[in-house]
Structure 1
């Protein structure tokens, strides 16, 4: 069979190009340490590597989001700590104000100090995040959440709770609305509230009470307890009316009940006692707990300290108002502590999510390594083989292209 010179050169050139391309590809693999240089090298592995790379990048973004969330939660935690300390100080001042030996000027000094505490508490509620946004205004980050009023403060934010995606299936709140922290406070003991009428002239003081039957207590009834003093010697009796229905609550067979100082008064699943001597016509109310702003509670406390407290009736009125304020302050403090605890729980969850995210990152890196990384031993062996093959082909082509009968003449 005869082979033309053109065919020899064409075949040799094609083979040399193929060998050079193979050598160049192996050299590129060695320099990049990547097995897949183009999707065509391994379409399935390339598609899988793209998916894993996207997941890895999303996991890295979640880690960044968690860092941002942690920074925000740390700021909120510090602010709530300050709010809790202020409420603790206010409670201590309220207890101090109950000292019977205090003079009106002493209570005025306490009221002035409480005015400062109220301003401090309002400043804490209007704290910012360092970037110009308010912590406790909900979604309305640029709106100051609380504005002072004569009776406390008005909330200007909304009920929203800003959240951040911190994992594939977890959105975490970065704060809480100011309404939930500073206004969502139950009055009294959290179930019902006892109060003395403002027209009372006697020296009776009512306790906060407790729940003895929660099913009855949660019925949400309003009661009024009225005293009557009659006869010689004076006999004090009382009657209880369910103002929700207008019916009288009485012991069977008795329209009125004798008053005994300090004896528990129980009805409707509620129990409390009254100490001191009530005057004829004095009354007390028992109502379901309502939500009240902590700013109103402190404002009412200041007003109570500045109100006249002359005589036994005035001192009893002050004691009743201080008792009411202390109950409400305790509920407000407990609410702040509850929100504070939830912030701590979120930060703990972020720690767990960070650990899970680190594990995922290791898994994604290992998967990408399996899909893309180069087997260096095999690549170096292939490179040496391709180099040797190319050199042999070049030498053989040189020999063949130099063959001529003229060399033998």
Structure 2
């Protein structure tokens, strides 16, 4: 068999190229730190790595979503902290103004302080998140959720939805509660609120205290409402009204100023001289006929403080009753705000837990990815040295072969 010089050269060059390719491949793996540089290096590992990489990207997206959710909840919680402080300040001011020692001028001055609190609360309710989105407007977050009316009252113009964000594959979390749930609602089971009303032309000066709970196991407690109406100077009628608005019972009793009266598991004290037609409505705090609007409560208290008494016992009684009602409503509103704050705090805690789970998941993905594509440097360096020796041997062999000639043996 004849072996030509060209054949020897081709075989030698092919061997050198093969050795150089293997040598460069190992060098590339060492430089990148990856065992699988190209899919052809390990097709199965490369395809699994694509799936793991996608899972890592999704996990990172959920982590970014949790950062956004935490920022929104933290801002809302900080606002509600200020709101609760403002409500406490308003309640303190009303307690102070329940005293008989203040003059009309004093009460008007205190009303200006209460109005400042009122304006502060409106500003807090219309807070933005720093990006121009209103925190408490629901999905309608491009405009202030609370609008001022011509009579200086406040109306909620947002929607009743709650903005949510997916913070994990199986968890959709509310990240901003709507303003109606915060400022115009109260938790269920908050007891009863009384509001007094004098008949037209009345000269009566009846005031109330309470109602206080006596027995919550009485049938209809928390559902029925009651209306106390004076039919004579020494007589009143208690009407029991069910949730449908139907009067289911009526009872006539003798009135004694300063004496407690019990009905429906409640106790109240009425004092003063009534006029025929004067009445007191006692509603469950979450009843449709009861006021649950924090702004309406403050507006009523401001109007009462700004009204001069002029020595009129009836107007003085109206002031005391209005302040008593407002204080009870402020207590209920404060409880609602604190409940919402607790809910936000619980969600912030949950974000911490989900973050920990996400971090563990991230470590698992990184470990899986490392097992699939990362390089074992010890074995790679050994193979690198071996390939280097092989390449040098191939180069030396080629150098020796190219110098061989039959003419050397003639």
Normalised TM-score (structure 2): 0.88
CA distance in 2: counterparts of 1:115 and 1:46, whole angstroms? 68
Post-superposition Cα deviations, 1:215-257, rounded to whole Å, max 9, x if no partner, equal 7335733432233447xxxxx333222354345434xxxxx33
Post-superposition Cα deviations, 1:179-199, rounded to whole Å, max 9, x if no partner, equal 111111379x83433222222
In structure 2, runs of 5+ residues without a counterpart are none
Secondary structure of the residue that 1:44 maps to in structure 2? Answer: helix
- Whether the 8 Å contact between 2:154 and 2:295 is mirrored in structure 1 is yes
Aligned to 2:207: 205
CA distance in 1: counterparts of 2:391 and 2:373, whole angstroms? 27
Match runs of 1:234-313 below 5 Å: 236-243=234-241, 244-250=245-251, 256-261=252-257, 263-267=259-263, 269-281=264-276, 282-288=278-284, 289=287, 290=290, 292-309=292-309, 310-313=311-314
Aligned to 1:165: 166
CA distance in 2: counterparts of 1:358 and 1:219, whole angstroms? 47
CA distance in 1: counterparts of 2:197 and 2:325, whole angstroms? 12
- Whether the 8 Å contact between 2:259 and 2:271 is mirrored in structure 1 is no
- Whether the 8 Å contact between 2:137 and 2:145 is mirrored in structure 1 is yes
Aligned to 1:354: 355
Aligned to 1:179: 180
> Structure 1 residues 248 and 368 mapped into 2: Cα distance closer, same or farther (>3 Å)?
closer
> Structure 1 residues 370 and 11 mapped into 2: Cα distance closer, same or farther (>3 Å)?
same
CA distance in 1: counterparts of 2:393 and 2:280, whole angstroms? 112
1:148 deviates by: 1.6
Aligned to 2:155: 154
Aligned to 2:228: 225
1:271 deviates by: 0.9
In structure 1, runs of 5+ residues without a counterpart are 231-235, 251-255
1:44 deviates by: 1.4
Aligned to 2:378: 377
Given the alignment of the two structures, is residue 190 of structure 1 paired with residue 190 of structure 2, yes or no?
yes
CA distance in 2: counterparts of 1:88 and 1:306, whole angstroms? 21
1:262 deviates by: 5.0
CA-based RMSD of the aligned residues comes to 2.5
Moved more, 298-307 or 238-247: 238-247
> Structure 1 residues 257 and 156 mapped into 2: Cα distance closer, same or farther (>3 Å)?
closer
Aligned to 1:395: 396
Secondary structure of the residue that 1:166 maps to in structure 2? Answer: strand
Normalised TM-score (structure 1): 0.88
1:151 deviates by: 5.3
CA distance in 2: counterparts of 1:316 and 1:177, whole angstroms? 37
Aligned to 2:132: 132
Secondary structure of the residue that 2:336 maps to in structure 1? Answer: helix
Aligned to 2:325: 324
> Structure 1 residues 56 and 4 mapped into 2: Cα distance closer, same or farther (>3 Å)?
same
- Whether the 8 Å contact between 1:227 and 1:278 is mirrored in structure 2 is no
CA distance in 1: counterparts of 2:358 and 2:118, whole angstroms? 43
Aligned to 1:253: none
Aligned to 2:335: 334
